[in-house]
Amino acid sequence: MAFGCLALAAIAAAPGTAHAQGAVRSVHGDWQIRCDTPPGAQAEQCALIQSVVAEDRSNAGLTVIVLKTADQKSKLMRVVAPLGVLLPSGLGLKLDNQDVGRAGFVRCLPNGCVAEVVMDDKLLAQLRTAKTATFIIFETPEEGIGFPLSLNGIGEGYDKLP
């Protein structure tokens, strides 16, 4: 199950938001709101973003992107993991050391492999109250690498997303 009771979003990438780019609009704790206008789009698109590096591997980074779809009907969490991850194992998530679930990878791009979930209100509430998230990728079925991520500012930042 993708992060608890979430539906896996095997949706095509929203243009321009597959990786962290665009101008920093504001900072909320450890998160940034970045905005840009994707090619061919009428409107600017903004996302809440944080990038981290594994504590024990300086060459392995992870970017978490939270955004609202253009129609404002869905909330997405898109995670860009390093190339070389074991795709069938998916991406694990723990909040304050409690297992939340796994999401499958939907595609790999030149800058990494992307897992994507539609966030429901329950997950958003959990993210607002937890202190840390740990995203887990697998290089082998037995070996997971944890990426601790601060959730400081995620609620405030999400509320400020246009």
The tens place of each residue's pLDDT in the chain, 162 residues long, gives 344 322 222 222 333 334 446 889 999 999 999 999 888 888 889 999 999 987 777 677 899 999 998 888 899 999 999 999 999 999 999 999 999 999 999 999 999 999 999 999 999 999 999 999 999 999 888 888 899 999 999 999 999 998
Domains, the chain, ordered by start: 23-160 (2.60.40.1880)
Task: State the Cα–Cα distance between residues 160 and 4, nearest whole angstrom.
Answer: 25
Predicted local distance difference test score (pLDDT) of residue 63 = 96
Predicted local distance difference test score (pLDDT) of residue 21 = 66
Predicted local distance difference test score (pLDDT) of residue 142 = 86
Predicted local distance difference test score (pLDDT) of residue 41 = 81
Residue 103, token pair as written in the block: 């999401």
Task: State the Cα–Cα distance between residues 17 and 49, nearest whole angstrom.
Answer: 10
DSSP per position, 115-144: EEEEE-HHHHHHHHH-SEEEEEEESSSS-E
N residues, the chain: 162
Predicted local distance difference test score (pLDDT) of residue 59 = 72
What are the percentages of helix, strand and coil residues in the chain, rounded to 5? 10, 50, 40
pTM over 0.85: no
